[in-house]
A = this chain, B = another copy of it.
Amino acid sequence: MTAEATLARFREYMVGPARFMNLLSCFELGIVDELRARPGLTAAELGAAVGAKAAAIEQMLFLPVKEGFVAHDETSGGYRLDALADVPEAELAGVVDFMHFIKVVTLRQLFHLTESVRSGTLVGLSEFYGFEGTLYEAAATHKDIGDPWSRVMNATTARIDPWFFANIDVPAGSRVLDLAGNTGLGAIHTYRHKASPGLTVTTFDLPEREEDCLRNFREHGVQEHCSFIGGDVFVSIPGGFDVVLVKHFIDMWDKDDVLRILSGVRDALEPGGQVHILVPIYPEDVHDTDNYTIDFFPSFFLGCSMGYGGPQKLSVYRAWLEESGFTVTQTLAKDPADLPRYALPVQAILSATKPV
């Protein structure tokens, strides 16, 4: 890589924040919706419609026109959707939800990334919200974080869970524990996808989630099969289970904590019982340019969501499972070709057995 090429690549990085917000702001201002409804509007007409000066609209649309997202007729001065017209509206709405999540949860907070890395705490969350703790705790009390976060998490879960449950073994009549199962969505999905005579699913999470969780079970009519146990995974995990599910959780922790979690899972399982882990992974070849997990997650975990943690390679998680006394029975990475083209994380399943 020549110095020229390196500096040219730096330039791509330097315009990253500006490009991101210029594009997102065109959606926030309502410019894209206006152009979809009324192709051919001029900057002056768009400005009148969205409440901004014509000159500002012209500036905001230079970049979408450069990209071919929007077309500009220099003779009439009219704009219309170009490439954006060909993206299904529901899919585009999903991307914009994700961009809004990135804006709210990361854009300002990343300003404090360096101090966050040094302190192992979320300096941005403290600065902008006066909040000491993790993103997941802040999401519970700050709707402006919690709502965009829930929308993205629910969309991701809806996409990933069918794949997860299609690829794990839950024997008929199992007693299943959903570790760090939040307010029960994972338990409900487990029952839906894996129902069998005698199957029970227990959500394990902090005691304050119990009320919401039990209400969710009732609302989904699974209260006969699902239950809640309150506690802290780092203190004690209840025992007597045939299957433990660990979804979207171990990527939040550094190695020491992951080993503590896996040790607790081993204690919770009957001999011969299975653990199934769902987790975003970095590619084995970190130079793989088709994988964006590396581009987003390090600074997300260190600066925006935990102050520590972050995904690992599948081979690392496999080694940590073996180090914790498990026999790994399956590792399966989602095929990036099956992901939406805007998806950032590549998910994997690791299944393992507690030796008899």
- A25 near B62 (CB under 8 angstroms)? no
From the candidates B2, B51, B66, B292, name the one contacting A286 in the complex (CB within 8 A): B66
A241 in the interface (beta carbon within 8 A): no
Contact assessment for A87 and B298 in the assembled complex, using a CB-CB cutoff below 8 Å: no
Given contacts A22-B113, A286-B62, contact A1 B68 (CB under 8 A): yes
A344 and B18 alpha carbons, distance in the complex (Å): 12
Given known pairs A65-B286, A83-B6, the reply for A25 and B117 (CB within 8 Å) is yes
* A55 is an interface residue with CB less than 8 A from chain B: yes
B-contact bits for A264-302, CB 8 A (1 contact / 0 none):
000000000000000000100011110010111111111
Q: Given the interface contacts A14-B102, A17-B106, does A294 sit within 8 Å of B62 by beta carbon?
A: yes
| Contact A342 to B14, CB < 8 A, known contacts A67-B9, A68-B287, A82-B1 | yes
A296-313 residues with Cβ-Cβ distance < 8 A to B are: 296-303, 308, 310
Q: Which of A105-132 contact B (CB under 8 A)?
A: 106-108, 110-111, 113-114, 117-118, 120
Cβ-defined partner of A107 (8 Å) among B10, B17, B287: B17
A43-64 CB mask vs B (1 if < 8 Å, else 0) is 0000000111101100110110
Q: How far is the CA of A299 from the CA of B21 in the complex (A)?
A: 8
In the complex, what residue of chain B is closest to A56 when comparing beta carbons?
B117
User: Which residue of chain B has its CB nearest to the CB of A110?
Assistant: B21
A286 to chain B, nearest CB (A): 5
The reply to whether B17 and A17 form a contact with Cβ atoms under 8 Å apart is yes
Q: Please, which residues of chain B bring their CB within 8 A of the CB of A294?
A: 62-63, 66
Q: List 15 A-B contacts (CB under 8 A).
A: A1-B82, A1-B86, A6-B87, A7-B340, A7-B341, A13-B99, A18-B102, A21-B113, A25-B117, A52-B120, A55-B308, A56-B117, A59-B298, A59-B302, A72-B286
Chain A residues at the B interface, C-beta cutoff of 8 Å = 1-11, 13-23, 25, 28-29, 50-53, 55-56, 59-60, 62-63, 65-69, 72, 82-84, 86-88, 91, 95, 98-99, 102-103, 106-108, 110-111, 113-114, 117-118, 120, 254-255, 282, 286-289, 292, 294-303, 308, 310, 340-344
Q: 5 closest A-B pairs (Cβ-Cβ)?
A: A16-B16, A7-B341, A59-B298, A1-B83, A21-B110
